[in-house]
Amino acid sequence: MDLRCVHCGVAVRTLFVQYSPGNIRLMKCENCKEVADEYIECETMILLIDLILHKQKAYRHLLYNTLNRHTVDFEGIWWKSSFVFLLLDACRILVLRRNGEYWGLSRSSWTSAWVCGKMLMDVLFENLVFICFLSIATRILLKSLPEVARYKDILLAIVVSSYFKVFFIAMMVWEFPASVVFIIDGFVLSSNVVALKDLL
């Protein structure tokens, strides 16, 4: 993926020129005449707030200019974020089944291994169904994928834009009604839609 202007989405050659350490000049986009990426000078908290507010500029900065194949270890980020994504889905299942068959006081080690294996299979099956549905919908809705939108890029956009799943960890500690899980799922889906809309 190329570097992109966060305002119009057009590819740019460079985002800034560095004259000395700590002395940079942000470049302007030739298409819209705006600063190509003002998030370079912003704190991470501002980026996080803009991601929560579903601003496309923040998603463009994150997906094109921060997680760029040429500047970071793309494969390492992809595998680590996928692992965290699956781990947070396991927390979701534990929250939903808090009072169900997964919790008990007298469990043998074989029963605990069975419960962990069953939970792992549930997480993998749910995500496999979601990814298959997503790939079929992408092929149907977009007859030809742009060269930018390779499947690993799409999967990374889905995994990274699912940052709301972090709240499942808090739900494991404090008592929340089960309906909060579906509210978080709604936020995750809306965030996924914004990220995919920007990527495709």
Q: How far apart are CA 178 and CA 81, in angstroms?
A: 25
pLDDT per residue rounded down to tens, the chain (200 residues):
578 889 888 888 888 888 888 788 888 988 888 899 999 888 989 999 999 999 999 999 988 888 876 666 777 877 888 888 888 888 888 777 764 544 554 556 667 677 778 888 888 898 888 888 877 777 776 665 554 456 777 788 888 888 888 888 888 788 788 788 889 989 998 998 888 888 77
| Closest-CA residue to 67 (of 160, 132, 183) | 160
Q: How far apart are CA 145 and CA 40, in angstroms?
A: 29
| Closest-CA residue to 40 (of 19, 20, 21, 58) | 58
CB 162 within 8 A of CB 83: no
pLDDT at 49: 92
pLDDT at 144: 56
Question: What pTM did the predictor assign?
Answer: 0.76
User: Nearest-5° angle of CA 137, CA 95, CA 45?
Assistant: 70
